[in-house]
A and B are shown apart, each in its own frame.
Chain A
């Protein structure tokens, strides 16, 4: 039943400095689980570790992770690749700056087909690419295919990244601060797109963010991280209205300070 299960994850630097300690969480199919924390909390390292993308010198030292019943991480080593993809914080920088969007998509589609004789030629893949872009809400896919990443806006590039991420038909999508740095109106559109994608494909999402508002609106369950540890892992309503941890309360009070109107957030303040 559980889609993703992570237990006792420990990440440390080559010198033995712990970055993440004993992290456990789980994601159900169709569920968005948030990881919220400030800089240095270890949330990004956690996300990267699930796909084996940790930077040089940083490694998983302990823990187990299972996706779709297949244990892909145990005893600090990877056994096979999990069926998960990731979208990153700065979409324009995460795309290849020297290739047009169309070329990058087609290359991805070709890679995904490897070993399978599908008989789709170049034109077939191109039309697949157009469909893919259309499915993420891009109104003029032809135009976008011919552009380079730096010629498109951040929001557009993030849509492209999402398209690429779901093209692989993953069971799990890991989103590492996907809307940080985007304009707030664009952020709203991207978040809406992620919601729609989850609903349509039934995938699970691990959503990393420092923004409490985004977490509140996107996630069903939340893991609050501080200094490498999970301080609290509970349903979103519990985290926001019945926080058990002092740091969670601190995050909530700083978030409520920035609310636009007086009424909301009263529940959190009462604690």
Chain B
């Protein structure tokens, strides 16, 4: 079971004020696997998340579901095949609803009978490591870490195919982050759900990512299996991103800044192609360097 975004383009504004938030992005997320989309502000990764969730319409491009080779459905994922975990856990729960009601909501809309729904909720709350008494609380009465666990439970309760994780640990304390990522990994093992993880922090993808796609200013500049991208980054931006992460070990000399050549208006200007000569033959875009490892040629 696979969700594919094909050649997505999202443009804001008209004529000269046009802002290409996303351009020519094609990604796919499979059940049981995690695609991490990494990018800084303005990269378009959040827009991709919203398009994948069906919360935003793309200006061009399609969304398709694939089983094997057959294309199952087109357009907005229906029947809650896609769920989402948001960046700010407490804000992703209705403050006027008790937690139980929020976690039950997806099942209510699916028409699951009351008793069965409550049972599933109790199970899932236990599985995310929470005490059932949290169900009777309001979101403001629990911590960020607890709220995120609730959000994960709510995302999984309706048994979706794919869950989009939008910076799931960005607003959590350090010591809590690792636990949430571990939880997500365990749940993926258990349920076989696929994750589309959006993050600005390339160092947080190690736990979960099967594949990584790096975005810069609306386009994918590199994509491939996790090991390939992290250990052998080919695109200068990916290299800069990895190098910029300060290493939590004072013995390792860190000089985080890789100066990237830029045009006067600040956009990246990559003078040379990672695969010399490829541009001339195939034009700018993503090129296959190694099997399954793609990198962009120019911005």
Chain A residues close to B by CB (< 8 Å): 38-39, 183-189, 191-192, 210-218, 236-237, 240-241, 250-261, 264-265, 267-268
Given A184-B40, A261-B231, does the pair A240, B250 have CB atoms closer than 8 Å?
yes
B174:A38 contact, CB within 8 angstroms: yes
Closest to A215 in B: B248
Residue numbers in A under 8 Å from B200 (CB-CB): 183-184
Question: Which residues of B144-178 are within 8 A (CB) of A?
Answer: 173-175, 177-178
Q: Bound complex: CA of A141 vs CA of B268, how far in Å?
A: 21
Can you list 25 A-B pairs with a CB-CB distance of less than 8 A? Answer: A38-B173, A185-B241, A191-B256, A192-B256, A210-B173, A210-B174, A214-B246, A217-B246, A217-B254, A218-B246, A237-B250, A240-B248, A251-B175, A253-B178, A254-B175, A256-B248, A257-B178, A258-B204, A259-B247, A259-B248, A260-B202, A260-B245, A261-B230, A264-B248, A265-B249
Residue numbers in B under 8 Å from A39 (CB-CB): 173
B240 within 8 A of A: yes
Residues in A with CB closer than 8 Å to B250 are: 216-217, 236-237, 240
Give the CA-CA distance A214 to B242 in the complex, in Å: 14
For chain B residues 171-216, which have a beta carbon within 8 Å of chain A? 173-175, 177-178, 181, 200-204, 206-207
Q: Whole-angstrom distance between the alpha carbons of A268 and B206 in the complex? A: 18
Docked pose: A39 CA to B244 CA in angstroms: 24
CA distance A264 to B248 in the complex (A): 8
Tell me if B178 and A213 are in contact (CB < 8 A). Answer: no
Residues of B within 8 A of A (CB): 40-41, 173-175, 177-178, 181, 200-204, 206-207, 230-231, 240-252, 254-257
Taking a contact as CB atoms under 8 Å apart, the answer to whether B230 and A260 are in contact is yes
| Secondary structure class of chain A's binding surface, majority of residues | helix
In Å, the complex CA distance between A185 and B239 comes to 10
Residues of A with C-beta under 8 A to B178: 253-254, 257-258
- CB-CB under 8 A from A214, the residues of chain B are 246
Least CB distance, B283 to chain A, in whole angstroms: 27
Given contacts A210-B173, A212-B174, 5 further A-B contacts (CB under 8 A): A38-B175, A183-B40, A191-B256, A215-B248, A258-B201
How many A-B pairs fall under 8 Å by CB?
A: 112
Q: Which 4 A-B pairs have the closest CB atoms?
A: A188-B256, A213-B246, A183-B40, A188-B244
Overall SS of chain B's interface: loop
Q: Which chain A residue shows the least CB distance to B41?
A: A183
User: Are A185 and B242 in contact (CB-based, < 8 A)?
Assistant: no
Contact B246 A257 (CB under 8 A): no
CA distance A214 to B243 in the complex (A): 13
- Complex CA–CA separation, A217 to B243 (angstroms): 13
Shortest distance between the CB of B175 and any CB in chain A (Å): 5
Complex alpha-carbon distance, A116 and B173, angstroms = 47
Partner of A213, one of B207, B230, B247, B255: B247
**Contact, CB under 8 Å: B247 / A216:** yes
Task: Provide the bound-state CA to CA distance between A215 and B247, in Å.
Answer: 9
User: In whole angstroms, how far apart are the Cα atoms of A184 and B175 in the complex?
Assistant: 20
A111 to B256, CA, bound (A): 36
Question: Which A residues are CB-close (under 8 A) to B248?
Answer: 212-213, 215-216, 240, 252, 255-256, 258-259, 264-265
Quick one: which of B174, B181, B251 contacts A241, CB cutoff 8 A?
B251
With A39-B173, A237-B251 given, is the CB distance from A184 to B230 under 8 Å? no
Q: How far is the CA of A158 from the CA of B276 in the complex (A)?
A: 38
Partner of B252, one of A189, A192, A215, A264: A264
| Chain A minimum-CB-distance residue to B171 | A39
> Please, which residues of chain B bring their CB within 8 A of the CB of A185?
40, 240-241, 244, 257
Complex alpha-carbon distance, A250 and B178, angstroms: 11
Measured in the bound complex, the distance between the Cα atoms of B248 and A236 in whole Å is 10
In the complex, what distance in Å separates the CA atom of A216 from the CA atom of B257?
16
Q: How far is the CB of A259 from chain B (nearest CB, A)?
A: 7
A184 touches B244 (CB 8 A): yes
Most buried by A among B207, B231, B242, B244: B244
Q: How far is the CA of A73 from the CA of B237 in the complex (A)?
A: 47
> CB distance A211 to B173 under 8 Å?
no
